[in-house]
Amino acid sequence: MSGYSQRCIARLDSIGAPRDGWFCEEVITMPDADFTCELCDYDRIRYVHVMVHPQWPDKFHVGCVCDGTMSSDLLAAKERDDEAKRREARRRSFMKKQWEEHPAGYMVLPKTRNNITAEKDSFCGREFYKVSIDGEPYQWWENRRIETLEAAKTVAFEVLDYERKTDRADTGS
């Protein structure tokens, strides 16, 4: 057992939290590797695993090793961490793609399997973007208007990545 795992268990014991039976709710990608694990105090975490337990009221934000310790499955924790890294690589690659201005005035992402556009619009004097993916419109994201082209690109990535994950789940791959 690693020193990080031992510190994780000692911290759980010290606050009376269950040692096992935890599951990872999600993995959050931080902008930089400067997050500190709430259990073992490792301070260079970029991929934060959010751990929940049915008999514990609070969530813990931890690194991969503490996830593996809490969930009793280090291989699954590493796979979650690796998937977060792959997703971040896809996001970086997607965000580097060059959008082209269509003669009609909207932006198009060429050379993709999907028809992706971003068009400026305004409401009550405030400009925003409408994103369309294969004809499906998006004007709001996380309860806010899409205000910049960068935000429009992020929305396009998030929608496509969600569909990719859903398609993979449906096909069992």
114 shares a domain with 67: no
What is the token pair recorded at 117? 């556009």
Banded pLDDT at 163 (limits 50, 70, 90): confident
Q: Are 38 and 65 in contact (CB under 8 A)?
A: no
Does 71 share its domain with 27? yes
- 88, 107, 122: which is the final residue of a domain? 88
Asked if 111 and 150 sit in the same domain, the reply is: yes
Which token pair is 130? 């409408």
Q: In what order do the strands lie in the sheet with 126-133?
A: 100-101, 107-109, 116-123, 126-133, 136-138
Task: Report which of 40, 65, 70 is spatially closest to residue 54, judged by C-alpha positions.
Answer: 70
**Same domain for 66 and 40:** yes
**Which of 88, 116, 135 is the last residue in one of the domains?**
88
The residue-averaged pLDDT of 136-150 equals 90
User: What local confidence, expressed as pLDDT, does residue 83 receive?
Assistant: 95
Domain identity same for 26 and 67: yes
Note the pLDDT of residue 82.
97
Residue 105: DSSP 8-state: S
What per-residue confidence (pLDDT) applies to 141?
Answer: 87
Contacts for 31-36: CB closer than 8 Å, 24+ residues apart: 35/61
**What pLDDT digit, counting tens, does each position of 82-133 carry?**
999 999 999 999 999 999 999 998 999 988 888 999 999 888 888 999 999 9
How high does pLDDT run on average in the chain? 92
Residues 64 and 138 in one domain: no
Strands (E) located in the chain: 23-29, 47-53, 56-62, 100-101, 107-109, 116-123, 126-133, 136-138, 140-141, 144-145
Residues 9 and 83 placed together within one structural domain of the fold: yes
Q: How far apart are CA 26 and CA 68, in angstroms?
A: 14
Does one domain contain both 24 and 66? yes
Question: Averaged over 139-143, what is the pLDDT?
Answer: 87
**Range of 68's domain?**
3-88
Listed range (28-32, 70-74, 100-104, 165-169) with the worst mean pLDDT: 165-169
Q: Is there a contact between 2 and 65 (Cβ–Cβ < 8 Å)?
A: yes
Overall domain count for the chain: 2
